């Protein structure tokens, strides 16, 4: 596997463990000092920034869904909005099915 050059990864699972025979394997793990938390580290800041971007993206998409679903009240909870959207999709599918049947019937009556 090629060594990575450039940015370091924040994923702790990517670190390798020392061999079991070494003295480092027996030594207890050091805990971060109380003044340094995960949010103070570069990885913690990157995670927070990624979470903020993800939250903003979800909020933007939920607002777009509110605008698309009829009777979209602004204060709906996420689960209510998703249930209303699912019902709306089911109604639209039923309308399409009925319209397809109507087209089929009208095309069939023209043949006579």
pLDDT in tens, the chain (112 residues): 455 555 555 655 555 555 555 555 566 677 666 665 555 688 999 999 999 999 999 999 999 999 999 875 667 788 999 999 999 999 999 999 999 999 999 998 876 6
Which of 63, 65, 70, 60 has the alpha carbon at shortest distance from 92?
Answer: 70
Q: How far is CA 29 from CA 43, 73, 75, 87, in A?
A: 19, 52, 47, 53
Q: Model pTM?
A: 0.54
DSSP-derived secondary structure letter, 46: H
pLDDT confidence of residue 108: 85
Residue 88 CB-density burial (10 A; 0-12 exposed, 13-18 middle, 19+ buried): middle
Which of 97, 87, 95 has the alpha carbon at shortest distance from 65?
Answer: 87
pLDDT confidence of residue 101: 96
Ordered by where they begin, the domains of the chain are 42-109 (4.10.280)
Quote the CA–CA distance of 98 and 56 in Å, as a whole number: 39
């Amino acid at each position: 596997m090629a060594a990575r050059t450039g940015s370091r990864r924040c994923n702790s699972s990517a670190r390798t463990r020392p061999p079991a025979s070494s003295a480092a394997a027996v030594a207890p793990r050091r805990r971060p000092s109380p003044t340094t938390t995960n949010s103070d580290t570069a990885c913690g800041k990157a995670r927070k920034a990624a979470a903020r971007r993800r939250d903003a993206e979800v909020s933007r998409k939920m607002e777009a869904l509110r605008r698309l679903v009829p009777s979209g009240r602004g204060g709906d909870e996420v689960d209510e909005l998703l249930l209303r959207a699912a019902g709306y999709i089911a109604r639209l599918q039923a309308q399409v099915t009925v319209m397809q049947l109507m087209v089929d019937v009208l095309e069939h009556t023209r043949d006579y």
